[in-house]
Chain A
């Protein structure tokens, strides 16, 4: 492997430049981790984090809670009455010791905070975020159960806000995907032997626990279920069907409803939802980084690689891949423009002559069905 030179599309021909370009890797992308009411961030904007740092505390069972008056602002005391315990007078100046309540502020409450211990054997202790204030009484989204989320990647926090989310600029490079499911996760990259570009389900065993597995052209719902059961952290495939995504989301929802915490599991489809093999330049990058730590991010769909200098494969400058249509997934060399060509059903499209694989004869393929790779 060596760092290859840039493919200059214009140097070949203006027609070649009209083929949509696909980046093999993107450097330092920005990712987002979304939050909802009841969730809080544990980092600040500008903070550097490493993979594994706890950055979010999520309330897994948030409910609407009427908090009442909250100390720390004037709304808790009537005019003329002494300051609430949250207010400290020293040297003649009133100093506010706690931050005033604002929407999104973390709030901890429950029976023990209200002096109602006698009412229950096991007093409820709930926490969450404040929602809004109405008639000087606050409401909150809060619950009893919380889970802490670790950062799947190293980077710098660019924005962080309770109830909203965390944005981070990632250190390192990433491979872009088209579709993602599950949660952000992290593991070592495992590139098992693929048979005809596909992964055999029997290859999934507990020995691969903690891995992100490159699973070939398509990953089935059964393989996803099995992988989660084996504590595998994620799978990367050429395509990921909408049915599999729905199954995964339903499975996630069931586990959350059962308050059963499992390790995060994510899945990526690099090219879309219809079956096609992983592009050879991408597969070459993955193979070169096998065994290294990687992370699956779902917003945007990315496979983040913990290395800044990714070894890129050497490709002929006229290398193209068919991304859709009857030859989807095949790769070859661009021979030249075929002009306006009449395709099936009498559709006229701009086309190119491409020598696919070891074919002796060139194939005419619509320009829009092709992609070229840029580094």
Chain B
């Protein structure tokens, strides 16, 4: 065959999980052909071999078609097919220094939202020795020294000392990245002798958009890649196989001896653009203060993300993909991702119907990890509060530690319950850290992503979302089961990403079901009735306050839910009667009449029983 391959591997290298998917162009569009997830220590080639073998066993002709090779050896295909990669950036620590506690807290919040592990101190509360310990600690990778744009007196008098302290630390540790935010930029002259920060500009560079990679000479009848992208953007003009080109950001398969985790940095989207020093020397990064941007601190967050994250960072990739999905659907989209080294909450919302601009907000937080390193007592207590397993603090700490060193271990039985509690606690931390997202209406689609949900039953994932993202409204629930949002977010070109996601949207978003979540339902008596009118089943349900129900509605089916409440409730708007269109999913239709926010008993055992009752309703296999 002379055609080029119409398939590539989308690889998400997480801290705990390596997720691989085979995406091929068949039947006039890009499709997810197979995917698999395995612990990150697993041999990647063995994983890819398994995927190709499965596809080959199911439909060898399809494999031959998308790989453009007839009966090729699987091992050869593993080596030949291109790869689109995203990686979880390793956790890094930043020391936040400020003149006042108020400023320190503000900066710590922003740094945490940018995904840093944060330690901090302020000159009005800590002595210079304690502050020096923070910046000289080997695990500290960067220092953020900040003040208001126009520093007030309580900050201004400490800035010279802090500038001298950080400058001295930078001379001891040339690898230390320094960010001067807001009014602290006046201390830039302190760093004139430190000299060794010339390496910092690499994060300030804008990777050039190099366009699609050179895929070699075109076969007869094939379109130019640019033309192919244009044709693919227009559905009416993209029916043929000539259209697809591999997305920019896909790498040619590594040659022998290459690391499978190699990165083609210029081809993937830049993380963020830090602001470099105005004189071009770039010895330190100058950044806006902690209040600039919308929401407050967004500008500084962008700088700090650029300093922390790889260019093909998975979490930032998910945030970009969510933005693209919002554009494609022309509706608000939200995602919650939880991993071993952090989590992400993001939302994108078009400004109006048909608009090509979206308002996006995200926080990629190290505290969003389901098994954070050295968990504080607060975190342990928070997991215990969500847990249906009876454990004391120390035993839970032991299990969290083991979960961290072996994230895939004991994923069944009690381990699954504990993992769910840890994941919910992580999502709760993410929700608490993103009030600007919680203040918005319920999204059109709510996506659960991340390795922690990989083995959890769909209805339980849906219940977790309902427990944590509690706003009145109707939302579709989905799961990024194949973990494609990260790699697709690494595609540089927005248009190309749109084309790819347009084709793959249904494959990427595994439907969990729909969630109906009214507020203002009075306790103690029947709240009303609901009728679900669908193609396959009609149901009539008495709405009992305080509970959550799952109505069977298979994936791919739509239905109309008519609700007649006795009292006025909020469900988007206020009223008694509502009619909404709902879609099915693996979990079905969820009707949640619990309080917003959830009200739980104070006693631990009663709280545990309440969780267990709700969980058992969605997880009948729990006692197996």
> Counting CB contacts under 8 A, is A133 at the interface?
yes
Pairwise interchain contact B172-A104, C-beta atoms closer than 8 A: yes
B321 at the interface (CB under 8 A from A): no
B405 at the interface (CB under 8 A from A): yes
- Tell whether, in the assembled complex, residue B164 and residue A134 are in contact, meaning their CB atoms are under 8 Å apart: yes
A349 within 8 A of B: yes
A120 within 8 A of B: no
The verdict on A345 contacting chain B, using a C-beta distance below 8 Å, is: yes
A35 to chain B, nearest CB (A): 8
Question: Is A139 positioned at the interface, with any CB of B under 8 Å from its CB?
Answer: yes
A103 touches B412 (CB 8 A): no
Within 8 Å CB of A350, what residues of B? 38
Residues of chain B within 8 A (CB-CB) of A242 are 394, 397-398, 401
Most chain B Cβ neighbours within 10 Å, of A62, A162, A274, A326: A274
Residue in B39, B172, B456, B457 whose beta carbon sits within 8 Å of that of A103 in the complex: B172
Q: Closest chain B residue to A128 by CB distance? A: B129
Contact code string B104-138 (vs A, CB < 8 Å = 1, else 0): 00000000000000000000000111001100111
CA distance A259 to B365 in the complex (A): 40
CB of B207 closer than 8 Å to a CB of A: no
Asked if A36 CB lies within 8 Å of chain B CBs, one says yes
Contact B409 A243 (CB under 8 A): no
**B129: which A residues are within 8 A, CB to CB?**
37, 62-64, 131, 141
Q: Are A131 and B406 in contact (CB under 8 A)?
A: no
- A132 touches which one: B46, B133, B165, B394 (CB < 8 A)? B165
Complex: how many Å from CA A276 to CA B43?
26
With beta carbons under 8 angstroms apart, the residue of B401, B620, B622 that contacts A179 is B401
Contact with B along A327-355 (1 / 0, CB 8 A): 01000000000000001111111100000
Alpha-carbon gap, A222 to B416, bound state (A): 32
Binds B, one of A12-20, A74-82, A110-118, A187-195: A12-20
- Check: A211 CB closer than 8 A to any chain B CB: no
Kindly report which residue of chain A lies nearest to residue B622, judged by CB atoms: A345
Is A34 positioned at the interface, with any CB of B under 8 Å from its CB? yes
- Contact pattern, A 62-106, Cβ under 8 Å of B = 1, otherwise 0: 111000000000000000000000000000000000000011100
The answer to whether A102 and B46 touch across the interface, beta carbons within 8 angstroms, is no
A134 contacts B161, C-beta separation under 8 Å: yes
Known: A163-B136, A274-B399. A368 touches B411 (CB 8 A): yes
- The CA of A142 and the CA of B394, in the complex, are separated in Å by 37
Q: Are A21 and B138 in contact (CB under 8 A)?
A: no
Whether A345 pairs with B133 at a CB distance below 8 angstroms is: no
From B50, B136, B397, B455, contact of A273 by CB (8 A): B397
Please determine whether A345 and B412 come into contact, CB atoms closer than 8 angstroms: yes
Q: Does B171 contact A (CB under 8 A)?
A: yes
Tell me which residues from 404 to 426 in chain B have a Cβ below 8 Å from any Cβ of chain A: 405-406, 408-417
Q: In the complex, are the beta carbons of A273 and B398 less than 8 A apart?
A: yes
Q: Is B624 an interface residue (CB 8 A)?
A: yes
Query: Which residue of chain A has its CB nearest to the CB of B620?
Result: A346
Q: From B37, which residue of chain A is reached at the shortest CB distance?
A: A350
B261 CB, nearest partner CB in chain A, Å: 17
If A14-B46, A133-B164 touch, whether A345 touches B173 (CB-CB below 8 Å) is no
Q: How far is the CB of B127 from chain A (nearest CB, A)?
A: 5
Question: Are A273 and B402 in contact, with the CB atoms below 8 A?
Answer: yes
Q: Are A324 and B406 in contact (CB under 8 A)?
A: yes
Q: Give the interface centre of A9, A104, A272 by most chain B CB atoms within 10 Å.
A: A272
Inter-subunit contact B415/A346 (CB<8 Å): no
Known: A64-B127, A346-B621, A368-B409. A164 touches B136 (CB 8 A): yes
When distances are taken between beta carbons in the complex, the residues of chain B under 8 Å from A10 are 46
Docked-complex contact B411 and A347, CB < 8 angstroms: yes
Judge whether A366 and B38 touch: CB under 8 Å. Answer: no
Known contacts: A37-B136, A133-B168, A346-B457. The answer to whether A272 contacts B405 by CB under 8 A is yes
Give chain A nearest CB distance to B240 CB in angstroms.
37
Nearest-neighbor residue (CB-CB) of B17 within chain A = A368
Q: Is the CB of B128 within 8 A of A346?
A: no
- Using a Cβ cutoff of 8 Å, how many contacts connect chains A and B? 160
**Residue A284, interface by CB 8 Å:** no
| Complex partner residue of B133 from A21, A36, A139, A349, CB under 8 angstroms | A36
Residues 216-230 of chain A, each 1 if its beta carbon lies under 8 Å from chain B, else 0: 000000000000000
When C-beta atoms are compared, the residue in chain B nearest to A131 turns out to be B132
Q: Is A144 an interface residue (CB 8 A)?
A: no
Contact residues in B for A62 (Cβ distance below 8 Å): 129
Q: Which of A18, A63, A103, A345 lies in contact with B43, CB distance below 8 A?
A: A18
Partner of B412, one of A32, A135, A165, A325: A325
Q: Which residues of A contact B137 (CB under 8 A)?
A: 34, 36
Min CB distance A326 to B, Å, is 7
With CB as the reference atom, state the residue of chain B lying closest to A325.
B410
Contact-residue bracket for chain B:
35 or more
B160 within 8 A of A: yes
Instruction: Check if B172 sits within 8 Å of A272, measured CB to CB.
Output: no
Q: How far is the CB of A369 from chain B (nearest CB, A)?
A: 6
How far, in angstroms, from A1 to B397 measured CA to CA in the complex? 39
Within 8 A of B (CB), among A105-156: 130-135, 139, 141
Residues of A within 8 A of B416 (CB): 344-345, 347
A144 nearest CB across to chain B (Å)? 15
Contact of B169 among A18, A103, A162 (CB under 8 A): A103
User: Do the beta carbons of B401 and A17 come within 8 Å of each other?
Assistant: no
User: Which residue on chain B has the smallest CB distance to residue A16?
Assistant: B46
**B39, A163: Cβ atoms closer than 8 Å:** no
For the complex, give the distance between the alpha carbons of A182 and B169 in Å: 27
- Residue in B43, B406, B457 whose CB lies within 8 Å of A323: B406
A369 to B415, CA, bound (A): 12
Q: Does A161 contact B (CB under 8 A)?
A: yes
Q: A130–B172 Cα gap in the complex (Å)? A: 11
The interface bits of chain A over 1-42 (1 if a CB of B lies within 8 angstroms of the residue's CB, else 0) are 000000001100010011011000000000010101100000
Report how far A273 CA is from B399 CA in the complex, Å: 7
A362 at the interface (CB under 8 A from B): no
Which residues on the A side are within 8 Å of B160 (C-beta)?
134-135
Residues of A contacting B215 with CB < 8 Å? none
Query: How close is A138's CB to chain B, nearest CB, in angstroms?
Result: 10
The 0/1 profile, CB within 8 Å of A marked 1, for residues 150-186 of chain B is: 0000000000110011011101110000000000000
Cα distance A348–B128 in the bound complex, in angstroms = 54
Q: How far is the CB of B519 from chain A (nearest CB, A)?
A: 32
A317 at the interface (CB under 8 A from B): no
- Per-position contact with B for A292-309: 1 when CB-CB < 8 Å, else 0? 000000000000000000
The answer, yes or no, to whether B619 is at the interface (CB within 8 Å) is yes
Q: Does B47 contact A (CB under 8 A)?
A: yes
- Is B42 among interface residues, defined by CB-CB distance under 8 A? yes
| Cβ 8 A contact of B172, one of A163, A179, A367 | A163
Asked if B132 and A141 sit within 8 Å, CB to CB, the answer is: yes
Task: Name the CB-closest residue of B to A104.
Answer: B172
Contact A18 B42 (CB under 8 A): yes
**What are the residues of chain A within 8 A of B410 when measuring CB–CB?**
324-326, 328, 369
Q: How far is the CB of A219 from chain B (nearest CB, A)?
A: 13
Segment 142-156 of B: residues with Cβ below 8 Å from A: none
- Residues of A within 8 Å of B621, CB to CB, are 345-346
Contact of A324 among B43, B409, B619 (CB under 8 A): B409
Task: Check A18/B38 contact, CB under 8 A, given A103-B171, A104-B172, A346-B621.
Answer: yes
What residues of A have a CB within 8 angstroms of the CB of B136 in the complex? Answer: 36-37, 163-164
Closest chain A CB from B471 CB (angstroms): 30
Closest 8 CB pairs of A and B: A346-B621, A324-B409, A368-B408, A343-B412, A344-B413, A103-B168, A132-B168, A273-B398
| A-B contact sample (13 more), CB < 8 A, given A14-B46, A20-B39, A37-B136 | A36-B137, A104-B168, A104-B171, A131-B132, A132-B128, A135-B160, A161-B173, A163-B132, A178-B405, A272-B406, A274-B402, A326-B413, A369-B410
Q: 11 A-B pairs, CB-CB below 8 angstroms?
A: A14-B49, A37-B129, A104-B172, A130-B168, A132-B168, A161-B173, A343-B413, A344-B624, A346-B624, A347-B411, A369-B409
Instruction: Enumerate chain A interface residues (CB-CB to B < 8 A).
Output: 9-10, 14, 17-18, 20-21, 32, 34, 36-37, 62-64, 102-104, 130-135, 139, 141, 161-165, 178-179, 241-243, 272-274, 323-326, 328, 343-350, 366-369
